[in-house]
A and B are shown apart, each in its own frame.
Chain A
Amino acid sequence: MGQTLYRKIVDSHTVFHVDDEHVALYADLHIMNEYTSPQAFAGLAQKNLPVRCPEKQMGVVDHVIPTHPVAVDKRTIMIGAAAQQAANFTRNCAEHGIHLFDVRDHAQGIEHVVAPEIGLIRPGMVVLCGDSHTTTYGALGALGFGIGTSEVEHVLATQTLVYRVAKDMRIVVDGALPRGTTSKDLVLYIIAKIGAQGARGYVVEYAGSAIDALSAEARMTLCNMTVEAGARGALIAPDETTIRYVAERIATDAFVAQWKQFASDADASFDITHRFDARDVAPFVTWGTSPDQAIAIDARIPRLADEPVAQRNASKALDYMGLDANQAIDGLAIDHVFIGSCTNARIEDLRAVADIVRGRKVAPSVRAMVVPGSGMVREQAEREGIASALIEAGFEWRQPGCSMCLAMNDDILQPGQRCASTTNRNFEGRQGRGARTHLMSPAMAAAAALAGRIVDVRKELEHV
């Protein structure tokens, strides 16, 4: 019996078996941010333990950093508690010899944008980080997943994690994504189909012609959000697209032949397989407060279920969102547009936004903000004329960070404000208490910014 890609990565990183279910899994790279690491460093200090492999750690200040459009070398955290947290992180990294992308570093950005773009993510690796969206790295054939702070401490001390091996799920998507849809629409479609816990307990391997056709960055969006279906990881076997992406960043020639081995064998067996047709995907928008509460732009919000808990959940979500069952989502007025996050703030995302808004204007009723994923993305967008197109259209062009995806800085919505957002979570209070988040693709968010309401980007594209 052949092996899945997932099992190959786990086997190749198993230091020893802890028991029937658990292995000590070796981490090739461990990424940290300022808010989920402090107690881990404190734990090490308390136990008087060193960081085992400082060179395999990466630190970046991303969650609490403000994104005001000041020069990079003037960036300053003004909120006291956040500034203290960042300073504590700087001290911890310095003390242990860990490379930190600090507040005024030109390459600072969102951890899951920075790590791949500087060439740290390579096929077959295990990458851990105290952040759930670490699943992003599956896009390059690396197993990434989020861990808690106790586990961050364990990785710092041992470079391993006591890991319960997950089950194998395969999601095959064949066919071509229709014009006006992206991997963001695809992942929202998949999550809506399988549910917010549809992949709980599994690592998902994506395959099929629709996946093959995606760019490396589009694959990052897909793998990033697979955690919103509860998955413990997401993987796409390395192919020419992967090799090209990595080879643009590091010298790879000697290794490429070996990368091809990181694929599921033809006779590998999966615990479950889902099949979808990319031609069924339309621009998707969330209507509720869980990422699986999503519909096609031309669909209506579902009627309430009969089952009591599901019914309570849906009516609570609708109440929070100020919407009704069976209501259309197309035409819904918005107050805010947020283009950003580890899901959708890479250069291709910003190009997609610029293509739609170039030469046009953001609706006067809307505040629209673009927060690039990293300093490198920001600089590239400026070189390509994307930044000027966005600014001319009326977008705020900000410095990088997690920003309004989770509103741990001062980019926060007011109660009742409705936001078209390219982020990953529409949870209650995520973008601010009482704020109403609609997840969608960058192109859809761009179209919403122009119209001042949620609209079908496919109609916009008729004019482009």
Chain B
Amino acid sequence: MSEHATLTGIAAPLPLNNLDTDQIMPKQFLFGIDKSGLARGVLYDLRFDASGNARKDFVLNRPDYAGARILIAGANFGCGSSREHAVWGLQQAGIDAVIAPSFGEIFYFNAQNNRLLLIALDEAVVAALSALASDAKTNQLTIDVANQRVSTSDGTHYAFDLPQRPKRMFIEGLDMIGMTLADSDAIRAFEAKHEALHPWMKIDLPALRNKQAA
């Protein structure tokens, strides 16, 4: 069993709907050419005031939530911009899982590709987990990915759906590009057929620009 199969840690409540990736990773942290240095940027305006001082009342700055590994968020978490920096940053800040009623779609796939675990649960369950996480005495959660359940410190279990593919991606970690390239012959065969059938879809940008310049 992989080390990714279960996850236990402090859960921090962040009960806001539509928390977009601009807020999760603001623009000033997007200038890198690698993935490093993004922990500082996570939820920056919520964590730090205009002078750059930590806001003491923000959940992730409170001592009871030091080392939090799980966020309990609102609906449509990660909506907006496609920036994968939001996922990289959350992971660099120590977050391994986010539980919410729903997730922005591009963020959802970005998370999968980086093994950031996203768990969608009914709003009422998320509200219950959020309430438990709001109390430092009960803010520990265990997520059993293999058996697809979240367990709270009072022994309650909540089952969650996790389709086969994201589950495998999370537990095993898949070489997506390698797997697709193993089917290179199929891609080549498709391409020939596709371009014959739909010739206008065949793009050759350098040739087009040369023609337009002529």
Decide if B15 touches A150 in the complex (CB within 8 Å): no
B205 touches A151 (CB 8 A): no
> Would you list which residues of chain B between 163 and 209 have a CB under 8 Å from chain A?
163-165, 176-177, 180-181, 183-184, 186-187, 190-191, 194, 197-209
Q: Is A55 an interface residue (CB 8 A)?
A: yes
Asked if B191 and A21 make an inter-chain contact with CB atoms under 8 angstroms apart, the answer reads no
- Among B30-38, B63-71, B89-97, the stretch in contact with A: B30-38
In the assembled complex, the CB of A196 is this many whole angstroms from the nearest CB of chain B, namely 5
- B56 interfacial contact with A, CB 8 Å: no
> Is the beta-carbon distance between A158 and B177 smaller than 8 angstroms?
yes
Q: Is the Cβ of A150 less than 8 Å from the Cβ of B84?
A: yes
Q: In the complex, which residues of chain A have a beta carbon less than 8 angstroms from the beta carbon of B18?
A: 196-197, 290, 313
Who on chain A is nearest to B75 by CB? A197
- Check if B105 sits within 8 Å of A201, measured CB to CB: yes
Q: Is B157 an interface residue (CB 8 A)?
A: no
CA–CA, A393 and B14, complex, Å: 46
Interface string of A69-84 (1 = CB under 8 A from B): 0000000000101101
A412 and chain B: residue at smallest CB distance = B27
Q: How many residues of B contact A (CB 8 A)?
A: 64
| A16 contacts the other chain (CB 8 A) | yes
Of the candidate stretches B109-117, B133-141, B146-154, the one touching chain A is B109-117
Residues of A363-413 contacting chain B, CB below 8 A: 406-408
Answer whether A99 and B110 are a contact pair too, CB < 8 Å, given A26-B191, A196-B76, A312-B16. no
- In the docked arrangement, what's the CA distance between A162 and B50, Å? 41
Asked whether A153 is an interface residue with its Cβ less than 8 Å from the other chain, the reply is yes
Q: How many A-B residue pairs lie within 8 Å, measured between CB atoms?
A: 212
| Chain A interface category by residue count | 35 or more
Separation of A290 and B17 alpha carbons in the complex (Å): 10
B26 within 8 A of A: yes
A241 CA to B184 CA, complexed, in Å? 38
Closest residue on chain A to residue B202 by CB atoms: A28
Q: Is the CB of B79 within 8 A of A230?
A: yes
Asked whether A158 lies within 8 Å of B27 as measured between CB atoms, the reply is no
Q: CB distance A433 to B45 under 8 Å? A: yes
Complex contacts, B113 vs chain A, CB 8 Å: 148, 150-151
Interface check A119, CB cutoff 8 A: yes
Q: A26-B191, A200-B102, A415-B50 are in contact. Are A427 and B20 (CB under 8 A)?
A: yes
Most buried by A among B164, B194, B200: B200
Cβ-closest chain B residue relative to A64? B31
Nearest chain A CB to B118 CB, angstrom units: 13
B106: interface (CB < 8 Å)? yes
Q: Is the CB of B203 within 8 A of A55?
A: yes
Confirm or deny: B156 has a beta carbon within 8 angstroms of a beta carbon on chain A.
no
Q: Which residues of A contact B197 (CB under 8 A)?
A: 12
Q: Are A55 and B110 in contact (CB under 8 A)?
A: no
B55 at the interface (CB under 8 A from A): no
Q: Does A154 contact B (CB under 8 A)?
A: yes
A-B contact pairs, 28 of them (CB 8 A): A24-B183, A26-B194, A35-B30, A38-B32, A39-B33, A39-B84, A42-B33, A49-B177, A55-B204, A84-B31, A118-B209, A119-B208, A147-B109, A148-B82, A148-B87, A148-B106, A154-B176, A154-B180, A162-B176, A196-B76, A197-B79, A230-B79, A230-B105, A252-B200, A290-B20, A309-B17, A406-B22, A425-B80
Q: A: which residues have CB within 8 A of B?
A: 12-13, 15-16, 18-19, 21-22, 24, 26, 28-29, 35-36, 38-39, 42, 47, 49, 52, 55-58, 63-64, 79, 81-82, 84-85, 88, 97, 99, 118-120, 122-125, 130-132, 145-151, 153-154, 157-160, 162, 164, 196-197, 200-201, 230, 232, 250, 252, 254-255, 258, 290, 309-310, 312-313, 316, 406-408, 415, 425, 427-430, 433-434
Smallest CB-CB A-B distances: 10 pairs: A148-B110, A81-B31, A150-B113, A38-B33, A148-B84, A146-B82, A197-B76, A149-B84, A15-B190, A55-B204
